Structure formats: structure tokens, C-alpha cells
Amino acid sequence: MAETLPDDTLDVVIVGAGFAGMYALHSFRDMGLQAKVLEAGSDVGGTWYWNRYPGARCDVPSVEYSYSFDKDLEQEWNWTEIMAAQPEILEYASHVADRFDLRKDIQFQTRVASAAFDERSNRWQVVTEAGETFSARFCVMATGCLSVPNTPTITGQESFAGAVYHTGNWPESGVDFSGLKVGIIGTGSSGIQSIPVIAEQAAHLTVFQRTPNYTMPAANAPLKPEFLRQAKENYPNIRAEQRASQVGIVGYGFGFGGAENVEPTEEIRNTTAAERQRLVEEEGFLAIRRYADVALDEKANELACDMYRAQVSRVIKDPETAEALMPRDYPMGCKRPVIDTDYYETFNRENVTLVDLRKGGIERITPQGLSTAQGEYAFDVLVYATGFDAMTGALGKIDIRGREDVALKDYWDAGPRTYLGLQVAGFPNLFTVTGPGSPSVLSNMIVSIEQHIDWIAQCIADLDQRGAKTIEATSGAEDAWIAHVNEVAENTMFTAQSCNSWYLGANIPGKPRIFMPYVGGVGVYREKCAAVAKNDYEGFLLRA
């Protein structure tokens, strides 16, 4: 193993070169700090570097899913669609890296294996899988919330004779499915985006579905030049509104480029069955967007689910397939919203078969395909669209040690504990970006990333200005924050007993069932973070 002497000149080691790591590097360098990024992949982009599966795209309007920190960058970049596809977002990330000369301080193909706080020097020792050590005053984990693909353990997995892919680790060279029989496991966002595109290319596609999802038509379209011009003019307002909003999105992309923005104002409980039926016939799935009470009230949610299922049966020609595609056992809105392009229509194609695993689950993978309790299915290529070990997965893969050699893995044994999603008690000078306990995955992530990095940058500047060497969350502040995070999540669809989402860790066997993100809203959360900093870093301990 190659080993270099710790480089004591570094102020910050940043792990990860997605949008969070890139902005962190830019910000810290701007402050005159020595910063270095360590990234497992061979280029920038994070999510958009790894998830190159067919159909991958953003579901936030492009003009909103972009950095706000540089006004010239905002003006010079031209998005081409209301919601950008993966290649365009990756190109944007690459453009940002070029424009701010980021790559010179990023070490690619470098996976971090461990990070330990040395109490004598007050420095983090970060060690890579290749055995290289980096020492820095601060360590920023920009490792991503959806960066560790989850491949379920299935008997016979290794015996499959054909090629195997995971949507979250797609080959850079792409995959040509022409003439091939393909099997895909999973119908979350990644499955729902890729299924229609793979079906168009493959000779045959078999979709293995365990739980049907709720998904809304994306109504994506090319961006009209006039819209883009207006958006650029309006950027200061758009950004201000995003920051004050619940989820960091103002829906600015809709209404101008093609899709219509509908503010939910009506109450579904005040409608009659006949009215709801008429609306489904006129507006399809999108009719549900009118109702403001669906996310708040169980009965309203049930009515919306009925409308949803009515529309599924209108779109799908085969009644048995339609029934299999209807979600029934959990409320709409408890999982991450999914939007799609031609998802349901795909199941009317001759070359697509849906296997409803609720009628008989997967028993084993064979050399030729997949064996279930309801029969054998043969294919040439297997695609896992089975999601991620979300929010804590990437941190759990690094051996992180705080004071007294306590391992983060052990400290989080019963579920993640943080103060503001930014720090963990006992782990001084370690920051998590969009960590558990922050709005994170419930928001437009770029808005939340920028807020976290700005807060961390200001915090480091304040520490330096006062001559403080370390900052760490107190356990009391951590307890109080966790109690608040749980309290606001209570009685929402997110924590319904019947909900098994990755927000709750329910997709990973053995993971504690804890609702991880903060549902209080982007605007409210920003105010809380700003107040903590202003109030002399209340809840944190600063040591000289």
C-alpha cells in the first residue's frame, strides 16, 4: 500500500465531487483556505456521473435545479428542456468544473476508507483505500444521500450468464439493448424512468414489480427561448422564493415552457364521486394536483388514490395488468414523488411483460433468468433498478472515528443522530452535507446543498476569526433537534404505518426504521440554522 506523509497544510478535506463537493471546494478556496476533494469516480457530477441509465433525468425545473452562487454562470448556461436529462446535467457539472478550475484540487479515482479525529492535533486523518493519508483541520462529507446502490441479495445471483447492470452505476459507454431480452427489477423512480426507454430498444422487456408506485406524467418539453430569457431576468426573485419555500422549488419551469403549473387549492372532500370521475376523464392523473388536502388528510388521500386507480384502468388495456399496476396498500405521497414519460403506456406494448411479484416472489436467479413462485422468466440482460442505501449509506461505508475512537457506525446503530443534519456530537470539525435531520432529499437538493456549504463556510470563518480550534454539537442540542425532527414528521403521510420508503430506511434489511430527513421546510430550516449561528453557535461547543 502506498502511504504518504500527512499533508499538514490542508484546511479542509472534502469527500465527494458531486454538486456539494464542487461548491464546497469553490467556496473554501474563495475564502483562502487550502482544500482538497477526494472522489471515487473519475470525474465530477456525483449522481449525474453514476446514474447514466436510459431515461435518467431531473424532476425539478432545470432553471431551478442549478447553482445560484455565481450570477454570470446563471446567465451563460442555457438549459434546453423544462427538466434536464442526465447528459445535460453532467455537461453542466463539467462546465462548472472548467469555469472555476475545480479539477486541479480534486483527486479522482480515490475512495476514502476511513477518517479519524486526532485529539492531540485537532485534525482529521483521512485515509484512502489505496492507503494515502490526508490531514486537515476540517472534514466535509459531501458523499451524497443516494450514492450507494442497493443490490438485493438473491439466491443464485452469481450464476446469471448475461450482463448485469445497476441503474445507479451505469457504464459510461452506455448499453445497447437492441435485439436483446431484458429483465428489470424495481419500479421506483429509476425503474419508471428507464422502463419506457429500454422497452423501445429491447426485443422484449420483463418488468419485475414488487410494489406498484404512484407516478405523475412529467409533461416535459423543450424550453422556449422566451421563457429562458424571462427566467434569467427573474433569477433574483426565483432564488429568493426557492429559499423561503417548503421544498426549494417554485415550479417556475411550468407554465412557460410547456407544462402547466397548478396550485392545489380545492379540497377533494368537497367533491362528489361523479365530479371526480369527470375530472379523471378530462385531466387524467393530473386532476389530483388540484387538491390541497391530499397530503394532509387520510380520507382525502384515499379519494385521490381512487381517482389515481381509475385513471390507471383507463390507460392500461389489459385489466389484469392494470390491476397489478394499481398501488393499494399505502398512501399517495408517503414515498418520494415519481414523475414519468409514457410509463403506463409502455405496458400496452406487445414486447413488455409485467410480473406482479405479489402473486409469487423471486425465488432465485438462474443462468437464463429469474425463477419466481409463479414461473420462470428468461432474458439476456438483467437490470437492477433497486435503489440505494439512502442518506446514511455512504457515511456507513467509511470507518469514521470521533473523540475517544468512537465509530460513527456504532453511534448511529439505532439510527442517525445529528444536530441540524450538519454535525454529530463527539465528531468535532466534521460536517455532513444534506445529512439526516436536514431538508435534504425532501427538497431541491441544489438549494439545500448551497445553504449547507454557505453555513459551513461561514462557521469556519467565524471559528478562525475567534481563534477557536474546534466546533462540535452538544448531545443536548442533538437530542432536542432529533425530537423536533420526529415531532414534525409525526402524523404526516411520510410516517404512516403502511409506508415503506427509503426515507424510513425500510428498503434495506436490518436498517432501523427512522424518518431521516427534516420535513419542517427549507425556509423554516434556513431560519433556524441562521439563528443558531447568530446566537453564538447555540448548541455547539467551540474550543480554543
If you write DSSP's letter for every residue of 46-82 in order, what string do you get?
Answer: THHHH---TT-B-SS-TTTSS--S-HHHHHH----BS
| 3-class SS letters over 95-153 | HHHHHCCCHHHEECCCCEEEEEEECCCCEEEEEECCCCEEEEEEEEECCCCCCCECCCC
Q: Where are the alpha helices (DSSP H) in 362-474?
A: 393-396, 408-411, 445-466
Nearer to ligand FAD, 147 or 423 (CB): 147
Residues 74-133 that bind ligand FAD (CB under 6 A): 111-112
Query: Angle between the 225-244 and 445-466 helix axes, to the nearest 10 degrees?
Result: 50
Strand, helix or coil for residue 27: helix
**Would you tell me how many other CB atoms lie within 10 Å of the CB of residue 83?**
26
Stretch that binds ligand NAP, among 195-203, 319-327, 383-391, 429-437 (CB under 6 A): 383-391
Q: Work out what residue 444 binds among ligand NAP, ligand FAD, none; the CB cut-off runs from 5 to 8 Å by kind.
A: ligand FAD
Residue 144 found at the interface with ligand NAP (CB under 6 A): no
Residue 442 found at the interface with ligand NAP (CB under 6 A): no
Residue 362 found at the interface with ligand NAP (CB under 6 A): yes
Residue 311 found at the interface with ligand FAD (CB under 6 A): no
Residue 40 found at the interface with ligand FAD (CB under 6 A): yes
Q: Work out what residue 394 binds among ligand FAD, ligand NAP, none; the CB cut-off runs from 5 to 8 Å by kind.
A: ligand FAD
Taking the complex as a whole, the smallest distance from the CB of residue 24 to ligand FAD amounts, in Å, to 9
CA distance 168 to 52: 8
Please enumerate in sequence order all residues whose Cβ is within 8 A of that of 226, keeping only pairs 6 or more positions apart, or say none: 256
Residues 55-74 that bind ligand FAD (CB under 6 A): 56, 58-60, 65
Taking the complex as a whole, the smallest distance from the CB of residue 500 to ligand NAP amounts, in Å, to 6
DSSP E strands, 386-504: 399-401, 430-432, 470-473
H or E stretch covering 469: none
Taking the complex as a whole, the smallest distance from the CB of residue 521 to ligand FAD amounts, in Å, to 15
Q: Which of 109, 59, 115, 56 is nearest to 82 (CA)?
A: 59
Nearer to ligand FAD, 16 or 284 (CB): 16
Q: Residue 439 — left, alpha, or beta (φ > 0 → left; ψ -120 to 50 → alpha)?
A: alpha
Taking the complex as a whole, the smallest distance from the CB of residue 106 to ligand FAD amounts, in Å, to 10
Residue 507 found at the interface with ligand NAP (CB under 6 A): yes
Q: Work out what residue 202 binds among ligand NAP, ligand FAD, none; the CB cut-off runs from 5 to 8 Å by kind.
A: none
Stretch that binds ligand FAD, among 74-82, 139-147, 290-298, 345-353 (CB under 6 A): 139-147
Nearer to ligand FAD, 55 or 183 (CB): 55
Q: Work out what residue 88 binds among ligand NAP, ligand FAD, none; the CB cut-off runs from 5 to 8 Å by kind.
A: none
* Binding footprint of ligand FAD on the chain (CB under 6 A): 15-21, 38-41, 46-47, 49, 51, 56, 58-60, 65, 111-112, 142-147, 190, 394, 397-398, 433-434, 444-445, 449
Contacts to ligand NAP by CB under 6 A: 58-59, 146, 152, 167, 185-191, 193, 210-211, 336, 357, 362, 385-388, 441, 502, 507
